[in-house]
Amino acid sequence: AQSVAQPEDQVNVAEGNPLTVKCTYSVSGNPYLFWYVQYPNRGLQFLLKYITGDNLVKGSYGFEAEFNKSQTSFHLKKPSALVSDSALYFCAVRDGTGFQKLVFGTGTRLLVSP
């Protein structure tokens, strides 16, 4: 069965600094990896996904993520954080064996201070 781990409950970063939100995964087949963001009292917004191809995936709002097969990781990154990036971030994975359910990590709260 597939699983996702987000080892940090919270990440604090100053505005203008780079940010990283960590995610590791476990699947038996090929991984399909996703990042979503959730603002207070809102649903989840899709940021980016890795299916195949380049290990560096670029997404919405300047976010990118790096797929590392050997370390089974898919960390979310942004070169320069904004206060408005403060939100709850979820990593998710599907085991690419055919119409599998999407499994989410526990979420990481990102706080960007001015």
Partner 1 sequence: KAGVTQTPRYLIKTRGQQVTLSCSPISGHRSVSWYQQTPGQGLQFLFEYFSETQRNKGNFPGRFSGRQFSNSRSEMNVSTLELGDSALYLCASSLGTSGDSETQYFGPGTRLLVL
Alpha helices in 9-110 (DSSP H): none
The one-character DSSP state at 6 is -
Is the Cβ of residue 84 or residue 106 nearer to partner 1 in the bound state? 106
Q: In which residue are the tokens 């996702």 written?
A: 4
Is the Cβ of residue 15 or residue 96 nearer to partner 1 in the bound state? 96
3-class secondary structure, 83: helix
- Minimum gap (Å) between residue 47 Cβ and partner 1: 10
- Minimum gap (Å) between residue 17 Cβ and partner 1: 27
Is the Cβ of residue 34 or residue 74 nearer to partner 1 in the bound state? 34
- Do residues 96 and 72 make contact, with C-beta atoms less than 8 angstroms apart? no
Q: Which residues of 39-67 are buried (b: 16+ CB within 10 A; e: fewer)?
A: eeeeebeebbbbeeeeeebebeeebbbbb
- Minimum gap (Å) between residue 25 Cβ and partner 1: 13
Is the Cβ of residue 107 or residue 112 nearer to partner 1 in the bound state? 107
- Minimum gap (Å) between residue 49 Cβ and partner 1: 6
Residues that bind partner 1 (CB under 8 A): 32, 34, 36, 41-46, 49, 51, 90, 94-107
